Each structure stands twice: as C-alpha cells, then as structure tokens.
Structure 1
Amino acid sequence: MQGNGVLPDRALRALIADGGLSASRPIDPDQVQPASLDLRLGTWAIRLRASFLAGQGRRVDDRLPDFQMHRMDLTDGAVLEKGCVYLVPLLERARLPEGLEGVANAKSSTGRLDLLTRLVADGGTEFDRLAPGYDGPLYAEICPRSFSVLVRPGMRLNQLRLKAGDARLTDGDLRALHTRQPLVDGAPLIDAGLGFSVDLTPGPGGLVGWRARPHAGVIDLERISAYRARDFWDPLQAENGRLILDPGAFYILVSREAVTIPADHAAEMSPYLALVGEFRVHYAGFFDPGFGLGTAGHGARGVLEVRCHEAPFALEHGQVVGRLVYERMAAPPDRLYGTDIASNYQGQGLKLAKQFRDN
C-alpha cells in the first residue's frame, strides 16, 4: 500500500492484479484513468419504484423485493426512460484492503446529459461511498432527468476513486500550492476549497449556455457527435450579465475561472450548498491530475451542470457557485489527463456532452 492520498493509475492496476478490484469480464486497460477506475454496466437493469440505500448490515439483493417493478435485458440495448429510476449491477466488484475507501462520481458526459448516476453498495448508508475494507458487489442507480437514453452492457457512466487516509488539503495547504503552481488565472478565492464562479460573458452569437429541451428524443450513448445540439438544447443569452433560472430546468454553463490540477493532486467539486442559491451545481465532480495542463499555462474552465430548484433564481455574472476540494495523490500517476490519454474535455470552454455536434 502506498502512502495516504488518492490512488494513482499504477496502484489501481496493482489492486486489479491482486484481486482487490475484479470483474465478471476482464477489466479493460483503458478503464484505468489517472486517478480513478471507470465502471461498466452489466447485462440487466431493474426498474425501481423508488430510489433506496441498502442500509447498514443489509444487502442490496435483500432489499430489491420492496422496490422492484420489472427487470430489463440490456444485451441488445434498452431505453432508460426519462423520470424513471433503475438499478444496474456493474461488471466490477470490490474487495478493498482495510484502510482503503472508495468515492464514486458520474463521468463528465453522464453529468452533462443530466443522467443522475450514483454508486450503490451492500451495507451502504450513503450513495457514492464504499466503506474502508468493503467487500462486495457494485451497482449503479440511474435516473435520466432530461433525456431518455439507450444503454448497453459495458457502457461507462460512473467512475470510482480510491484513497487512503485524509487526503484533503486545508485552506493553508491550498494557498501554498497556489503559490508554487497557480491553480486559477487570477487571485484565488480560498474558503473551504477553491471557489469558482459562473461566466455569463456572451460568446459567439451571444451564447452563454444551454437549457435542456423538455420533449426531446432518445440519445444513444454510443453515438459520438451524432446529434444536432439544437434538437435537444435551447441556446441561452444573458441580459446585462444576468440569467434567470427556471425551476426544474437543467442548464449547461461554464466557470469564469480557468482551473489547473497539478500532476500530484486531484480535485472534486464540493456538493451543492444551499447558501449559494436555489440550485444545484454539480453532477460530474472529479477533476483528474493534469486537468488544465498543457494549454499554454491558462488552465481549463469547468463546465457547470446546473438544476434550479423551488423558485426562479437570478444568476449573476461572476457569482460564486461552488468550490473545488483538492486532494493529494498517494503518488503522481503514470499518465495525465489530456496529455497522455485521449480526453474529450481538456482545454474546454462551454461544451456539451460528446454525443452532440454544433450544427
């Protein structure tokens, strides 16, 4: 076992070799990312009448009779309907050493499709968490919020990060890191993490963001650059640096700050905080080592997946909407995001999921 911190790719490969991470189908080498492992959907899904957690000391299988509506075969592809909740056994399972815990999150494209995807495990009292030493199967709970989607076995909707000990940087640590290697292109707002704000400066054609259309078609997740953006999204313009969010609507916006994640660190968007307004600002929250590097030193802006809640909310240009929590890597990874691996969103600006094209 390496020192405290987030496990890098080489440690994940060693854990796979030792059986700490295994699968019913061999794990593909490209599932191993710089600081996480992509998880794959299995061959069937269960439509649920409600989301649930197994609860302490209980197995997911034992709870299913209370919530199962019907079972679906994914082998030839199946549509997960908007507004419904599904549970899909994953091909991977975990047998973690003591002292090693897991945190999961949706992959970038998953979040940008408003496809709520969370990790569920036996004995779980929280989503997206594996207790230290967890030994058991893994499941994905999937709830399409804006678009119905076509899925197949082996698709990768979420990812697992493993870490030992307390890897989080304090605000003092974060200031020192920024002094050594600038994390943003300007003065950092450091308060329980690195603050980031929304950019409502008009881009080409006055574009500041996108809002999901309420009655769009099905999206086949395997089809890349296959769908015209305006068939699924309405382009948005701001009025005097202000955008009014509608309750229940889903938006794709972009951060004002260009962010850098050094090679020996990783980061995660902190959960929605009610203090910033009546909206949630993240679904896909992992930032790998190397995010923002290799782009002329200017970093890369973070795409914001925003859902407004109970009341209309006026979002202003430059308003702080969330925080990045930085964590130490147990060791630098062998490969960096966007430099040594193909990365769809390196150097990004305002960018929809990879299934969409601009015209």
Structure 2
Amino acid sequence: MTTPADDLFPHLEDPEPRRVGPGQTHATGILPAHAIQSLIREKEIWGSPEIEQAQIQPASLDLRLGTTAYRLRASFLPGPHRGVMECVEELTLHKIDLTEGAVLETGCVYLVPLVEALALSERTSAAANPKSSTGRLDVFTRVITDFCAEFDQVEAGYKGHLYLEISPRTFPILVRPGSRLSQIRFRRGTPTHSDAELKRLHEQVKLVEGEADIDGGLALTVNLKTDREDGLVGYRAKRHTDVIDVDRPDAYEVLDFWEPLYIRDSKGLVLDPDEFYILASREAVHVPPTHAAEMVPYNPLVGEFRVHYAGFFDPGFGAREAGGVGSRAVLEVRSHDVPFILEHRQIIGRLVYERLTDRPGKLYGGDIGSNYQRQGLKLSKHFKAR
C-alpha cells in the first residue's frame, strides 16, 4: 500500500503567499531557473542524490531515472483514490535493476520511479514533457503522480513522488540511474495567454519572419523544400536496429538508424502508417527571454498524423539575444491508420507562448551549451553530424 503523501513530507507545510520578489515582473507565470533553484532550497523539489546544477534549464528541470524499472502489462492512470505503486503491484510483469544499465525494448511499457520528488505550495503547479532528444528517438514518455487523473500534469500543492512511463516505439534504448528522458516546468498561479497577447508579442519581437498565422497559437508549417543540393527534407526511422545508449552523444552513424528522405518535383511526402519521421518546420522560431513556448496538439480533423512528442521550448530558443537567428522546430511525426500525404507549407502544429514570472539569468543557447540552438533539420544529439 502507498503511504499517504502528507505523511511522506511532514517537514514542509504550505507557506503563506509571498509578494512578488525583487527582480520579478509578474506574480504568475512559468518559473525561470533562479526560481526553480529557490524551490530546491526550500525543499519544494528534492532528490537523493541531490539535484545537480546541470539539470536546471532556463525554465525547466531535467528529471532523473531511479534505480528500478517495472515492465508493465499496460499503461495506466491511478485515479484519485490510489497511489502509483499500488497499481504497479497489480500490473508488473518483471522488475529490472538499472544499476549497471538495462535495455528497454520496443513495444513494451515500463514504469520507473524518478529521483526527484515534490512538496509544492498550493500556488505552484507543474507540467512535464519528454526532452527534445527523447522525442527525436521516438521514445514515448509521460510523468505520473500519485492519485492523478492526467498524464504529465502535477496539481498545485502536490506532495509526493514522481514516476515516468517509458515506451520505446522504434529503437531499443539503454538507460541507467540518472538518465534524463523527461523535463518538468513549474507554474505560479493561472496566467492567461490569448491570441491577442500573442499578436502583441509578435509585433514587439517577431516570433517568426514575415506574417504570423495566429489562431489558437502560432501556426507552424512543414518544410518539404530545401536549398540543399541533395534535396534532403527529412528522415524515416529504420526498424530492427542496434540499441541506443541515451547517455552517449555523437556516438552513432545516421545511416545505421535512419533513411534519408528526398523530395523531387515539388511532390508531397507520403507518410506510411506506423512509421516514424523527423521533419522540420518552414518557419524559424524565436522564443524571447520573457516567454516559454509549447507545441500543442493540432486539430486531428485536418490530418491522420501525430506530431511532436517533445513540445517545450525554453526562453531564448532561436532568439537573437541568445545567439540565435531563429531555429526551426523539429517535427516528430507518426501517421495513424492510413497513408497520408503531407504537402509543403501544410500546417502541422501550433505554438502557445506563455510568459515567465521573470527573465532567467541564462538563456537557451550558448550560455548553457544547448544542443539545438540555430538548428535546421536535426536528429537527436546521439547521432554524428553528417
């Protein structure tokens, strides 16, 4: 049985609401890195081993795998009356020790308790996403909490452990304690973000070059034309490949895992059912230092495909202030039950921008050695540059 969450964290009570601190510009919004560090000092976020500075991104925190994985019969949500480990006891097929590293196979569902735990105040909530490199490997991950009814959402005031559901879809992966597949961001209050605000932001900082299509977020379209001599516009994942060690960057040959895709004569790209593709947006995106952005699910009525597992863009992504000149959004695309033709400039997703409570001290990009600043069409960091 799972111990009640309040009994796990007797040392921390919900503090009285504090005023907006020095240097802050908004009482509500996404928390930047220095505010995340404050949560760590105040034990609203904690872990053993202790959280490392390298985990803290401009407006998010990388989450680490613990020492044990459970292979499950099926994915699940615990619901409002059960803890996660109660469900794991019923669904576990096999318990796996990750201490020396272990392979997670494709087509299987695993649950790993994370190192980090939370004891949030009643005014702070959180949301999670796969890291960019995780999504580009077609590894499906979702954070679960005790007593939750939604994936990747942490209610304000949550006190308890975090768990990560992992399901490799294309490549088997090698993981170990401390591997970072997911990230979490923290939100103070319930800030609003409307199309009107987004249009004003675009007028101020030019989120994309030229006219912006803003309707339920900033529209992104797929790029199926290229200035490259070889005509490369994307990649399709190969099946039955070698294992990918998630902690080894720049280690694998592209052609051992990916089939390059070329477009000729302005024809569209046919997405084959249940195949995984890496494509790029036509737009070069700017995320100003005052905001973060998230790719939101696009209307399923306009296409039989899913795009973008990893949907979080840190402040400074593509921004001039962080050494960027606009960065393409890499699109992780999977068709559904039938073949579907993508055309150049077809809308494939929308970005919703949300302000931060304060500008972070460091931005996505050269300040922190980010892998995907100034990117065009780019595979995950695990593959050697072509």
TM-score relative to the length of structure 2: 0.91
What are the within-5 Å matches in structure 2 for residues 287-306 of structure 1? 287-294=313-320, 298-306=325-333
- For the residue of structure 1 that corresponds to 2:368, the secondary structure is coil
Structure 1: segments with no counterpart, 5+ residues: none
Q: Give deviations 1:158-192, integer Å, cap 9, x for gaps.
A: 00001022334211001111111100011100001
Match of 1:149 among 173, 185, 202: 173
For 1:335, the equivalent position in structure 2 comes to: 362
For 2:132, the equivalent position in structure 1 comes to: 108
CA distance in 1, matches of 2:377, 2:128: 24
Structure 2 counterpart of 1:351, which letter?
Answer: K
For 1:248, the equivalent position in structure 2 comes to: 274
Alignment pair present for 1:8 and 2:35 = no
- For the residue of structure 1 that corresponds to 2:367, the secondary structure is coil
Contact in 2 for aligned 1:300/1:349 (Cα 8 Å): yes
Shift of 1:276: 3.0
CA distance in 1, matches of 2:132, 2:35: 23
Structure 2: segments with no counterpart, 5+ residues: 1-17, 21-26
Structure 2 counterpart of 1:332, which letter?
Answer: R
Contact in 2 for aligned 1:247/1:308 (Cα 8 Å): yes
CA distance in 2, matches of 1:317, 1:62: 48
CA distance in 2, matches of 1:346, 1:109: 13
Shift of 1:296: 6.9
Contact in 1 for aligned 2:324/2:365 (Cα 8 Å): no
CA distance in 2, matches of 1:189, 1:166: 25
Shift of 1:273: 2.8
Shift of 1:274: 0.4
CA distance in 1, matches of 2:191, 2:288: 15
For 1:279, the equivalent position in structure 2 comes to: 305
When residues 129 and 297 of structure 1 are mapped into structure 2, their CA distance, relative to the original with a 3 A threshold, is: closer
Match of 2:244 among 183, 195, 219: 219
Shift of 1:346: 0.2
Which stretch shows the higher mean deviation, 16-25 or 217-226?
Answer: 217-226
For 1:124, the equivalent position in structure 2 comes to: 148
Q: Give deviations 1:211-240, integer Å, cap 9, x for gaps.
A: 000111111112211110010000001242
CA distance in 2, matches of 1:272, 1:42: 33
CA distance in 2, matches of 1:335, 1:320: 32
What are the within-5 Å matches in structure 2 for residues 160-175 of structure 1? 160-175=184-199
CA distance in 1, matches of 2:189, 2:135: 28
CA distance in 1, matches of 2:323, 2:160: 44
CA distance in 1, matches of 2:315, 2:34: 14
Shift of 1:353: 0.5
Shift of 1:339: 3.6
CA distance in 2, matches of 1:225, 1:101: 35
Shift of 1:298: 3.3
Structure 1 counterpart of 2:305, which letter?
Answer: F
Contact in 2 for aligned 1:167/1:329 (Cα 8 Å): no
**Number of residue equivalences:** 359
- For the residue of structure 2 that corresponds to 1:92, the secondary structure is strand
Alignment pair present for 1:205 and 2:219 = no
What are the within-5 Å matches in structure 2 for residues 39-58 of structure 1? 39-58=63-82
Shift of 1:204: 4.1
What are the within-5 Å matches in structure 2 for residues 294-333 of structure 1? 294=320, 298-333=325-360
What are the within-5 Å matches in structure 2 for residues 1-40 of structure 1? 1=18, 2=20, 3-40=27-64
Which stretch shows the higher mean deviation, 337-346 or 200-209?
Answer: 200-209
Contact in 2 for aligned 1:98/1:132 (Cα 8 Å): yes
CA distance in 2, matches of 1:298, 1:64: 46
Shift of 1:275: 2.6
Shift of 1:299: 0.9
Structure 2 counterpart of 1:327, which letter?
Answer: E
Alignment pair present for 1:236 and 2:299 = no
Structure 2 counterpart of 1:238, which letter?
Answer: I
**Greater Rg, structure 1 or structure 2?**
2
Alignment pair present for 1:356 and 2:383 = yes
CA distance in 2, matches of 1:105, 1:50: 20
- For the residue of structure 2 that corresponds to 1:110, the secondary structure is helix
Contact in 2 for aligned 1:99/1:165 (Cα 8 Å): yes
Structure 1 counterpart of 2:282, which letter?
Answer: R
When residues 67 and 271 of structure 1 are mapped into structure 2, their CA distance, relative to the original with a 3 A threshold, is: same
- For the residue of structure 2 that corresponds to 1:196, the secondary structure is strand
Contact in 2 for aligned 1:278/1:308 (Cα 8 Å): yes
CA distance in 1, matches of 2:261, 2:212: 28
TM-score relative to the length of structure 1: 0.98
What are the within-5 Å matches in structure 2 for residues 163-202 of structure 1? 163-202=187-226
Contact in 1 for aligned 2:238/2:259 (Cα 8 Å): yes
